[in-house]
Amino acid sequence: MHEVFESATIAGISLTNRILRSATHEGLNDAQGRPTEACIKLYERLAKGGVGAIITGYVGIMANGKSPLYNMAMLDNDQQLPAFKTLVDRVHAQDTPVILQLAHCGRQTRSKITGFPTVAPSAIRDGMYREDKPHALNDSEISDIISHFTAAIERGKKAGFDGVQLHLAHGYLLSSFLSPHMNKRTDNWGGSTENRFRIVKEILQQARAIVGDYPILAKINAYEKSADGMQLEEAVVVAKYLEKYGCDGIEVSNGIIEDGFWFSRGKFPFDIIVEDNFRLKHMPGFLRQLIKPVLEKQLQSPQPYSLFNLKSAEQIRKAVNIPVIVVGGIRKLSEIRDIIENDRCDFVSMAKPFIIEPNLVQKFKSGAQMESKCINCNYCVIGIEARPLKCYYGRTNSFRRSSETDHF
């Protein structure tokens, strides 16, 4: 039987317990996408707070895949290396591993921010960002993206990260290749699951030739909202392919941005949506109230808010022999104990709970607290579009920092 607070390994990465910080975009980077001192301090606090390993917020691999969120981290050229190396060294000084999450945002970004048209496997307009139709990538552009991912994996190794995690979830570029909802191609990159997986296979194979047995993990969607999106049965096949082509561990999530609050479930944060959206902010109050139910429907967060990927993760775990991490609505130590001690998954990860309490694992371990203080108000998710990450603790008319969050 496994225990939560025992040492464990993922692909040779040593953790002091089975709880990871799931990737959380922080926006604590400079204009070039280099982690700032504030970012490093946050990671140090997480490490000192007892987390088993930290997965970074998503880090960009090339300019046209930059996030629309505030100041994404970028590891798209060698000049970025010293800043990332400093971050890694400071986390390692706290005896905590740190895993680099790599992403290309595909059609889920804004041309105004990247300076380029959005790109995707197929020219299907994104329902949330509402840009023009994305440019459907051709063969040589796909090869270029594969090379950029491979180069970023190599940079991750050079910077000293303990491993990388490919972001294959939430509708970003690689996830959009996997999803039949976003990939309607009829060539080698679309159609069958095998063809839709091809871009990931190429990245894994090309990267392995360069970085050897360096840990490469992946975060995948077990399911998506639309009927023609990724569903569990196919996600199991994707997981098997990942194992076959050398992936070292899988984190299980769900949903794409267009789905609304599916992957980060909780309340509908209308006040901060209004505050951060220029059009809504300057709209007469009565119109805003009319729009609220429409938006609420579009961005709905389905129940349950807790453990919403666990059943899928268990199914995926049964199909593979590499470690499976489950994320999504995990808030209580009792839930984590159940997952680990009853061998339902190998590891758990959390995102929002560590925003309000970077030292949550320490509190769990000492018995000082049994449950996260996060109330799933989801202000943090919207707030990162316009400013660095913080916990608003459900504030409805003020974006002042909560006294509960002492980490910024």
* Shorter beta-carbon distance to ligand FMN: residue 174 or 381: 381
* Shorter beta-carbon distance to ligand FMN: residue 15 or 135: 15
As measured in angstroms, the least distance from the Cβ of 242 to ligand FMN is 16
* Shorter beta-carbon distance to ligand FMN: residue 133 or 395: 395
* Shorter beta-carbon distance to ligand FMN: residue 83 or 102: 102
* Shorter beta-carbon distance to ligand FMN: residue 201 or 352: 352
Count Cα atoms within 13 angstroms, Cβ side, for 107.
Answer: 28
80: left (phi over 0), alpha (psi -120 to 50) or beta: alpha
As measured in angstroms, the least distance from the Cβ of 218 to ligand FMN is 10
* Shorter beta-carbon distance to ligand FMN: residue 196 or 265: 265
62-78: buried (b, 16+ CB within 10 Å) or exposed (e) per residue?
bebbbbbbbbbbbbbee
As measured in angstroms, the least distance from the Cβ of 390 to ligand FMN is 9
As measured in angstroms, the least distance from the Cβ of 308 to ligand FMN is 8
Q: Which amino acid type is present at position 191?
A: G
As measured in angstroms, the least distance from the Cβ of 374 to ligand FMN is 7
| DSSP-assigned states of every residue in 337-363 | HHHHHTTS-SEEEESHHHHH-TTHHHH
**Cβ proximity of 388 and 26 under 8 Å:** yes
**Nearest partner of 91 among 29, 144, 15, judged by Cα:** 15
As measured in angstroms, the least distance from the Cβ of 282 to ligand FMN is 26
Residue ranges in contact with ligand FMN by CB under 6 A: 22-25, 57-58, 101, 167, 169-170, 219, 253, 263-264, 327-330, 350-353, 380-381, 384, 389
278-287: buried (b, 16+ CB within 10 Å) or exposed (e) per residue?
eebeeeeeee
Q: Are strands 13-15 and 8-10 parallel, antiparallel or unpaired?
A: antiparallel
DSSP H helices in 62-138: 81-92, 111-114
CA 401 to chain centre: 24
CA 208 to chain centre: 23
* Shorter beta-carbon distance to ligand FMN: residue 143 or 362: 362
CA 69 to chain centre: 13
Q: Vertex 345, ends 372 and 45: CA angle to 5°?
A: 40
* Shorter beta-carbon distance to ligand FMN: residue 13 or 327: 327
As measured in angstroms, the least distance from the Cβ of 383 to ligand FMN is 8
As measured in angstroms, the least distance from the Cβ of 191 to ligand FMN is 26
